[in-house]
Amino acid sequence: MIHIYNHKNIDKRNYSNCLHNSLNYRVYAELWYLDIVSPDGYDILVLNNFEAVMPIAYHKKLGMKFVVQPTFCQQLGIFYKENISAENFSLFLSFLNRYRVRSYCFNEENTSYFPTDCIKRDNQILNLESNYLTISNNYNKNKKRVLKNDFSPSIEIEEGYIDSVIKGTLFTHLHNFLSESQIDILNSLLLELNHRNLLKQYTVYREQHIPTVYLWLIFSKGRIINLLSVRIKEIEIKNSYAYLIDLIIQKYSNQKLIFDFEGSMIQGIANFNKSLGAKTKHYIPYKNFKWFDALKKR
């Protein structure tokens, strides 16, 4: 049996226990995370007595709920302690179809429940369990050649969270691809992640302490998630971003960790991730409300 709860009346303790004990945990499904990235609210589907849970984020428009995958939230879907049956998965899907779903992303571990020919999105991940030498041997030839250079005389790398992204050059560059409301959400999310000791921020400077690269990573249950990076390419020292990622891989290698690049379907970004030995995994985008998107294109 599936039960539907609003985020305001969900049993938080039972939900959190189910999520944290799930074999496919993602920080995106935490209640505090959803509170930030989905300010209009969200519902939660629960199988029986919290055998599995499925958060459904939405925004409200014209007095209606529209299910939309929140920004900074790559994968949601169904989370379970043990693999659920195909019948129960279909039951979750039938309940999702009661909503106007413009975009919803199931997590990687849900992929096998869908037909093999369905539309998939790419994500690249790198297993860090091996030692650095073994991992770096799987870099492609060009990346190995680039990383032989010593970048330390020309750049400085600083680790530490800054209070706000709504200032200076960083805000200007964020505004190129995020709305002001999304930047507000980003600020709130970074603040909460830092408060929970789940965040690491790296800033790369060139001479005269000019910032050129920003990187925010989430550290959560054996996963390092590349939440967001900003590169000011006009002044960035060439390949300094690759150098930064390589240093992070080196620092956290030989541990039971996964570096999650959070994408990408963009060929250039995907090729960069793969050049560092990342493997492609898939997750499923889902929608049932296509006429609205078609109307917007007119």
**Domain co-membership, 105 together with 192:** no
**Domain co-membership, 140 together with 255:** yes
Nearest to 54 by CA among 83, 21, 19: 19
Percentage of the chain modeled with pLDDT above 70 = 96
**Domain co-membership, 128 together with 253:** yes
**Domain co-membership, 144 together with 254:** yes
Q: Which domain holds residue 233?
A: 124-282
Taking the CA atoms of residue 245, residue 247, residue 249 and residue 253 in that order, the dihedral angle to the nearest 10 degrees is -170
pLDDT, position 170: 78
**Domain co-membership, 128 together with 263:** yes
- Judge whether 49 lies within some domain: yes
**Domain co-membership, 114 together with 167:** no
Q: For the chain, what is the domain count?
A: 2
> Of 65, 83, 118, which closes a domain?
118
Residue ranges with strand state E in the chain: 2-6, 42-47, 52-61, 64-67, 79-80, 100-101, 104-106, 121-127, 156-159, 199-206, 210-220, 223-231, 258-260, 279-286
> Of 118, 134, 158, which closes a domain?
118
- In this prediction, residue 163 has a pLDDT band, given cuts at 50, 70 and 90, of confident
Average pLDDT, whole number, for the chain? 93
**Domain co-membership, 63 together with 178:** no
User: How confident is the model over 103-137, as pLDDT tens digits?
Assistant: 999 999 999 999 999 999 999 999 999 999 999 99
**Domain co-membership, 102 together with 85:** yes
Is the pLDDT at 292 greater than 80? The verdict is no
**Domain co-membership, 128 together with 114:** no
**Domain co-membership, 52 together with 162:** no
- CATH code for position 130: 3.40.630.30
**Domain co-membership, 108 together with 129:** no
How far apart CA 286 and CA 11 sit, in angstroms, is 27
